[in-house]
Amino acid sequence: MVDWNDCQKRLGVSFRQDSLLEMAFVHSSYLNENPGLAGYSNERLEFLGDAILNFIVAEKLYKEFPELPEGNLTEIRASLVCRDTLAEIASSLKLGDWLLLGQGEEASGGRERPSNLANAMEALIGAIYLGQGLARARRFVFRQLKPRLDKIKAGKRVPNYKALVQECVQGQKKTTPVYRLAETAGPDHSKQFTVEILVEGKVVGNGTGKSKKAAENQAARAAWGKLRSSHG
């Protein structure tokens, strides 16, 4: 049984009704295995939280960096609201401890799955907005993003090209980019990986690195340059 009072204390939030907070952690697999339960999964709150998060971050960047053009603001925002960032923050907050999962999802490592953690983070933001209002949601978001915002202000930011490519492709094509391992070369101790990014079956970028992640980042950087130039 989840202690929602302990959850609120550890997260530094306060809800009049635990049901709203609880909904932020209900994975669809939990409802599928418990059909008699009333209520929804966290997907609707995730939808709302995603919109609230993007607005809060966009507003903050617009005010904090009056000298930056739209393209740079888009790059920074994408790095702050992407799945990897949200999953890292959610992991640091131990949101996985409170996820309500079906047995299959639990057994397959669902509490540590980045997509589940990122979704729970967005759903939590949506719940805070509904339960406490925009000002509280804004304070919660800034508290979590402060270390990253401080690095941006200090000029130590590195664009998240994977997030930028995903945002661009989803906005333009209503689909998601696919990363495909094209080649692996070299001995075991010094392998080189080549990754391609495909959009609607067409290669839009490729990159090489000593790990799949590094190759994906290089491919995303190449794809972002091509996508950005093609759309002005």
Domain boundaries, the chain: 4-153, 161-230
Same fold, 4-153 and 161-230: no
Q: Which class in CATH covers the domain with range 4-153?
A: mainly alpha
169-221: per-residue pLDDT in tens? 887 878 889 999 999 998 888 889 999 999 999 999 999 988 898 899 889 98
- Give catalytic residue positions: 50, 122
The rounded mean pLDDT for the chain is 89
How many Cα atoms within 13 Å fall on the side-chain side of residue 6? 7
CATH classification code of 161-230: 3.30.160.20
139-163: per-residue pLDDT in tens? 999 999 999 999 888 876 667 788 8
- SS3 label, residue 195: strand
What global pTM score does this model have?
A: 0.74
Helix, strand, coil share (%) of the chain residues, nearest 5: 65, 10, 25
Identify which of 122, 152, 155 has the alpha carbon closest to the alpha carbon of residue 56: 122
